[in-house]
A = this chain, B = another copy of it.
């Protein structure tokens, strides 16, 4: 399997990726919403471009550093879905705005004040999405009056323009059934739409309702009033998405190619990739790391450079030292961020080398 690659290596199945990209673009088109994929999942300009060519209207980044690298590749419509704080970042944002249409999200007048100064200095208001807490309890105030009041307070700051509301239903990752996932998604959308209506009654018209994660995207795209979805993981999927029922092994596009380096006992199988390839995300959740083609293999634990798995004693003859196996990460976004390079494959052959250009771009 991929004899031209040594292990561990990150392998991207481009056929799967193209299908995932096309399917999400179709979902957005069907519901008449814009698609603004989050590129933190892949951090590769080539794949961002693939998403744009398939119909995405722009991209989402978490950090300014990611946005700068995407702008370097000619991408010119970027949402930095993160509160930008401090003079160095404000100066970088000013430079970025000279070569791309940039929006940012935040949840406080403190952060908006810095952006307002920037907007006034440059004579061009900074477009802001106010983040709403629809249940993740990370950023944002609750929907309804708390958010409407916050929107009014921020909108009063000279130099910023509040163009819409944004949320991430990160708590959807804890849904146990499709019904729960659908309900979380419906609330994610309706909470924002209803809050925007409240803002309108307050005299502030908001034109963007930006929602969605990969688990909720297919559901929330259909909520009336939603204008934009921002899924990220869907391009690669992972075992977390499989567990949520929005992906299958066949639709996972990012895998770590590994080699069995030890069979210390009849039951034990050790691969040459650990948390420094796959991360500890999801560790211990049943099936959090899956071995392609070896569904009966149970992952026991990962150390930094080892994945330790178990076979039934009856299967002891399987997977001798030297066997190559692809492991599906629990969380593609974090795993990809550990590699400098990924290998694009098609039909079982390596066809291209992709640099994970924005890997580590945390600033």
Q: Is the CB of A273 within 8 A of B305?
A: no
Using Cβ atoms and an 8 Å threshold, which residues of chain B touch A303? 138, 170
Q: Is the CB of A139 within 8 A of B270?
A: yes
Q: Check: A153 CB closer than 8 A to any chain B CB.
A: no
Q: Contacts A8-B362, A283-B280, A333-B304 hold; do A108 and B140 have CB atoms under 8 A apart?
A: no
Q: Is the CB of B321 within 8 A of A110?
A: yes
Q: Is the CB of A265 within 8 A of B362?
A: no
Q: Contacts A6-B363, A8-B363 hold; do A262 and B83 have CB atoms under 8 A apart?
A: yes
Q: Is the CB of B281 within 8 A of A275?
A: yes
Q: Contacts A86-B6, A138-B270 hold; do A262 and B107 have CB atoms under 8 A apart?
A: yes
Using Cβ atoms and an 8 Å threshold, which residues of chain B touch A108? 262-264, 321
Q: Is the CB of A362 within 8 A of B63?
A: no
User: Per-residue CB proximity of A280-292 to B under 8 Å, as 1/0?
Assistant: 1111000000000
Contact partner of A141 (CB less than 8 A), chosen from B111, B138, B264, B275, is B264
Q: How far is A106 from B262 in the complex, measured between Cα atoms in Å?
A: 8
Q: Check: A316 CB closer than 8 A to any chain B CB.
A: no
Q: Check: A272 CB closer than 8 A to any chain B CB.
A: yes
Q: Check: A185 CB closer than 8 A to any chain B CB.
A: no
Contact partner of A360 (CB less than 8 A), chosen from B273, B306, B339, is B339
Q: How far is A139 from B320 in the complex, measured between Cα atoms in Å?
A: 14
Contact partner of A83 (CB less than 8 A), chosen from B63, B170, B261, is B261
Using Cβ atoms and an 8 Å threshold, which residues of chain B touch A63? 305
Contacts of A20-54 to chain B: CB distance below 8 A: 40
Q: How many residues of A contact B (CB 8 A)?
A: 61
Q: How far is A108 from B133 in the complex, measured between Cα atoms in Å?
A: 53
Using Cβ atoms and an 8 Å threshold, which residues of chain B touch A106? 262
Q: Is the CB of B6 within 8 A of A322?
A: no
Q: Check: A103 CB closer than 8 A to any chain B CB.
A: no
Using Cβ atoms and an 8 Å threshold, which residues of chain B touch A264? 107-108, 133, 138-141
Q: Check: A219 CB closer than 8 A to any chain B CB.
A: no
Q: How far is A7 from B270 in the complex, measured between Cα atoms in Å?
A: 37
Q: Contacts A6-B86, A108-B262 hold; do A137 and B279 have CB atoms under 8 A apart?
A: no
Q: Is the CB of A321 within 8 A of B360?
A: no
Q: Check: A340 CB closer than 8 A to any chain B CB.
A: yes
Using Cβ atoms and an 8 Å threshold, which residues of chain B touch A276? 334, 337, 360, 362
Q: How far is A27 from B333 in the complex, measured between Cα atoms in Å?
A: 41
User: Per-residue CB proximity of A135-179 to B under 8 Å, as 1/0?
Assistant: 001111100000000000000000000000000001000000000
Nearest opposing residue in chain B for A301, CB measure: B138
Contact partner of A272 (CB less than 8 A), chosen from B85, B133, B272, is B85
Using Cβ atoms and an 8 Å threshold, which residues of chain B touch A40? 304-305
Q: Which residues of A contact B (CB under 8 A)?
A: 6-9, 40, 62-63, 82-83, 85-86, 88-89, 106-108, 110-111, 133, 137-141, 170, 259, 261-265, 268, 270, 272-273, 275-277, 279-283, 300, 303-306, 308, 320-322, 333-334, 337-340, 360, 362-363
Sampled A-B contacts (5; CB under 8 Å): A110-B322, A137-B300, A141-B265, A170-B303, A304-B334
